[in-house]
Amino acid sequence: MTSPLAIDDDLWSALGDPTRRRMLDLLLAAGAGTATSLSGSLPVTRQAVAKHLVVLERSGLVRVEVSGRERRYRVDDDQLGRAVAQLSAVGSAWDARLNRIKRIAEAIEGEKS
Amino acid sequence: MTPQTLIREVHIEATPEIVFDVVSSPQHLEQWWPDEASFAPDAAGYLRFGDCSQGGKKVGISVVEATPFRLFAFRWTQEIGSVPTAKNSLLVRFELEPSGSGTVLTMVESGFDDRDLDDERVLAEYQDHESGWDHFLGRLPAYAASVVVTR
């Protein structure tokens, strides 16, 4: 059975938000970042960034390193790879469905004639 | 097309009447997709995948537009009974175009990007930005194009 239900809900909803995707962009480009550094590049408050970071951390897309008072975040490459793979899986799921649609419709057409 | 939109096209050697029936009637849906489909054009329903006592799941489906032999559109993945919105569901459009003795069926699934107006503004601000994320998601359309079935 293939359906998007196979997709990790936390991962899916973490990626569903453009601000969070933008944060991943920034983290990928810079290698690492803090809520403060990220909010400097985004039109949202540091508090909002901190909330988004919690969601990203929960989904496993970023990992936190605590040193002293600082919380530095990095993208987890493996989990991001998994997310991309799941997005691709949605595509192949539709390919399989459309092939079945084609087979069924052509079988009906064949019976008719 | 945004990277979060999936487009597929397939040529089917069957009339649009038949293809429309296959993509829109619950009985046919069960042959190519969920284990059980229960909905009507004017009433929301559900799709069941697998055995609910064995980790299977039911999700909502709601027909958005049904124009015989041309277009069938629905929203799905919302919780059963809840009003489908861009926030909680995906939109699937099946477009049918007669082609010779058959039909070209185009499937467009969108809504992976649950943006609101603010987010759109944010996105517009950064759309020129070349980024790691674009690099990753940018593979999707290429992947989509490589698997478009045209026979």
Residue B141 confidence (pLDDT): 36
Nearest to A25 among B23, B133, B139 (CB): B133
A94 touches chain B (CB under 8 A): yes
Q: Per-residue pLDDT for B130 more than 80? A: no
Residue A6 confidence (pLDDT): 46
Q: Per-residue pLDDT for B125 more than 50? A: no
ipTM entry: 0.70
A42 touches chain B (CB under 8 A): yes
CB < 8 Å to B8, chain A: 91, 94-95, 98
Strands (E), B68-118: 71-76, 90-99, 102-110
Q: How many domains, in total, are found in chain A?
A: 1
User: In this structure, is residue A2 part of a structural domain?
Assistant: no
Contact B131 A28 (CB under 8 A): yes
User: In this structure, is residue A1 part of a structural domain?
Assistant: no
Q: What is the pLDDT of residues A69-107, one digit of tens each?
A: 999 999 998 888 887 777 777 777 888 899 999 999 999
A85 touches chain B (CB under 8 A): no
Report pTM.
Answer: 0.63
Residue A4 confidence (pLDDT): 42
Element (H, E) at B6: strand B6-12
Mutation target for A interface from B8, B115, B133: give the one with most A CBs within 10 A: B133
Structure tokens at B18: 């038949």
Nearest to B109 among A16, A84, A94 (CB): A94
Q: Please, what is the average pLDDT of chain B?
A: 75
pLDDT confidence tier of residue B4, bands split at 50, 70 and 90:
low
SS3 of A108, please? Answer: helix
B131 with A28: CB under 8 angstroms? yes
User: In this structure, is residue A50 part of a structural domain?
Assistant: yes
B6 with B92: CB under 8 angstroms? no
- Phi–psi pair at B102, nearest 5 degrees: -125, -150
Domains present along chain B, CATH in parentheses: 6-146 (3.30.530.20)
Q: What is the pLDDT of residues A13-45, one digit of tens each?
A: 787 777 888 898 889 888 999 999 999 999 999
Residue A11 confidence (pLDDT): 77
Please give the residue of chain B at the shortest CA–CA distance from A31. B132
Q: Could you tell me the CATH number of the domain that includes residue A44? A: 1.10.10.10
**A39: domain range?**
7-112
- Phi–psi pair at B96, nearest 5 degrees: -115, 135
Token pair 């969601």 is found at A55
